[in-house]
């Protein structure tokens, strides 16, 4: 019998996750919740970018969604600029006895040592009350800096450092809020955006740092952060909008988890808006972008992950990866113990039922 699943949020990740739910025989879509007024009343298939219709139309509040009696909710609403609201939404769903799998709130990927107990305790209590579980994931932060590096370190005799890198051209990424308000692209270099306010990087990727540390059995003494920004030499346009001359056109930041006085865990992002900017910075393993995991130890590794898609470029492919991880995790999360669950708690997530034989030409 298909699992009854409802869905929240139809942005970049949410739209693709919704399509995955609709097209999978493992799930029965019960409802969709949106925040944009003009999306209310539209069919889920349309919101997912599909040609088919589902008969499920979008509502605007969680109570109406809960009335459809789902076993699980896929939560892909914006979390970057509304973390507290996203945490409260998840708490409400869990208390109602509904499991939650999603891309937000990102701080719930591994909140311990990052968020105070006043934020995590109500979520854990709601999960106990509702006998329900919460699993938040993505690519980075997400499986590119928890599942994959932990799998690789599991083959090592010794590990001295784990470094996870995203090296990408974001020119085709059309999330204007993330690009301009969160990351600060296009802004003057003396204007500090939300992501680069003191401590924000350490919080946003601290979840990944501490989860890697837990998997490696070490304790992080402190987290350090640094960044560099490069202005545009000339004005140009990207998918999300306009970059003026002198506006930020490249961003490089690094978060380090210090263990025994040295950087044992590092997460680094090299983000350009054009391939010719900062050629001296690390380059992706494929045109556009890739993820890189470097492990220093015995043996040492350098592994590049190069996402691609038949329906878009590297940025689209990365979003498909995030949506796929979310949708495929649903059965394991439903079967898990109540509470905030992480990659360390869940079994290996596979994808039964998604195998396809390519059509013959």
- Domain ranges in the chain are 3-136+318-341, 143-306
Task: Please tell me the distance from the alpha carbon of residue 146 to that of residue 293, in angstroms, as a whole number.
Answer: 11
**Mean pLDDT split into 10-residue runs, the chain, 361 residues:** 97 96 96 96 97 96 97 94 94 98 96 96 98 97 96 97 98 94 96 96 96 97 98 98 98 98 98 97 97 98 96 95 97 98 95 71 56
- The two tokens of residue 175 are 């999330």
E runs forming strands in the chain: 3-8, 27-33, 58-59, 72-75, 99-102, 133-136, 158-169, 222-231, 236-238, 241-243, 248-259, 262-272, 289-298, 301-305, 339-341
Task: Please tell me the distance from the alpha carbon of residue 99 to that of residue 204, in angstroms, as a whole number.
Answer: 23
Cα atoms in the 13 Å half-sphere on the side-chain side of 123: 29
| CATH 2.60.120 corresponds to the domain 143-306 | no
Write the DSSP string, 95-134: HTT-EEEES--GGGSS-TTTS-HHHHHHHHHHHHHHT-EE
Q: Do domains 3-136+318-341 and 143-306 have the same CATH topology?
A: no
**Do residues 22 and 52 touch, judged by C-beta distance below 8 A?**
yes
Q: What's the pLDDT score for residue 351?
A: 77
Task: Please tell me the distance from the alpha carbon of residue 233 to that of residue 224, in angstroms, as a whole number.
Answer: 30
- Report the DSSP beta bridge partners of residue 297: 159
Task: Please tell me the distance from the alpha carbon of residue 293 to that of residue 300, in angstroms, as a whole number.
Answer: 10
Q: What's the pLDDT score for residue 80?
A: 83
Task: Please tell me the distance from the alpha carbon of residue 153 to that of residue 136, in angstroms, as a whole number.
Answer: 22
DSSP annotation of 322? H
Among residues 224, 236, 302, 226, the alpha carbon closest in space to that of 263 is found at 224
Fold of the CATH domain 3-136+318-341: Rossmann fold (3.40.50)
Task: Please tell me the distance from the alpha carbon of residue 264 to that of residue 333, in angstroms, as a whole number.
Answer: 30
Q: Which residues contact 315 (CB under 8 A, 6 or more apart)?
A: 168, 170, 172, 173, 288, 289
State residue 77 phi and psi, 5-degree precision: -70, 160
Task: Please tell me the distance from the alpha carbon of residue 277 to that of residue 297, in angstroms, as a whole number.
Answer: 32
Query: Exposed (0-12), middle (13-18) or buried (19+): which is 358, by Cβ within 10 Å?
Result: exposed
- The two tokens of residue 321 are 């990866």
Q: What's the 3-state SS for 193-215?
A: CHHHCCCHHHHHCHHHHHHHHHH
Q: Which residue's structure tokens are 């949410």? A: 14
Q: What's the pLDDT score for residue 346?
A: 96
Among residues 164, 165, 170, the alpha carbon closest in space to that of 272 is found at 170
């Amino acid at each position: 019998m298909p699992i009854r699943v409802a869905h929240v949020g139809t942005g970049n990740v949410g739209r693709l996750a919704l399509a995955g739910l609709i097209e999978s025989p493992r799930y029965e879509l019960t409802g969709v919740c949106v925040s944009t007024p003009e999306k209310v009343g539209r069919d889920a298939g349309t919101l997912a970018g599909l040609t088919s219709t589902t008969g499920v139309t979008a509502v605007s509040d969680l109570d109406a969604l809960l009335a459809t009696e789902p076993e699980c909710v896929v939560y892909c609403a914006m979390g970057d600029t509304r973390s507290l609201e996203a945490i409260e939404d998840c708490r409400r769903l869990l208390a109602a006895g509904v499991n939650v799998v999603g891309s937000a709130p990102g701080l719930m990927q591994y909140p311990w040592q990052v968020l105070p107990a006043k934020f995590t305790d109500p979520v854990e209590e709601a999960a106990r009350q509702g006998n329900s579980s919460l699993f938040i994931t993505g690519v980075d932060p997400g499986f590119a800096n928890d599942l994959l590096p932990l799998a690789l370190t599991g083959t090592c005799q010794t590990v001295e450092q784990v470094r996870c890198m995203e090296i990408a051209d974001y020119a085709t990424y059309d999330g204007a809020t993330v690009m301009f308000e969160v990351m600060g692209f296009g802004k003057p270099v003396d204007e500090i955006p939300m992501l680069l306010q003191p401590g924000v990087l350490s919080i946003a990727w601290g979840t990944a740092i501490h989860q890697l540390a837990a998997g490696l059995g070490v304790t992080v003494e402190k987290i350090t952060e640094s960044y560099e920004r490069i202005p545009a030499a000339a004005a140009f346009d990207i998918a999300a909008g306009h970059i003026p001359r002198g506006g930020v056109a490249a961003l490089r930041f690094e978060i380090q988890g210090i263990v025994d006085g040295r950087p044992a865990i590092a997460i680094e992002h090299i983000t350009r808006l054009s391939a010719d900017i900062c050629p001296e910075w690390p380059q992706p393993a494929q045109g556009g972008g890739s993820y890189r995991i470097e492990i220093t130890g015995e043996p040492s590794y350098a592994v590049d992950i190069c996402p691609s898609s038949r329906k878009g470029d590297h940025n689209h492919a990365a979003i498909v990866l995030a949506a796929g991880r979310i949708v495929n995790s649903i059965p394991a999360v439903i079967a898990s113990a109540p509470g905030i669950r992480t990659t360390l708690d869940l079994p290996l997530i596979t994808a039964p039922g998604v195998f396809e034989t390519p059509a013959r030409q």
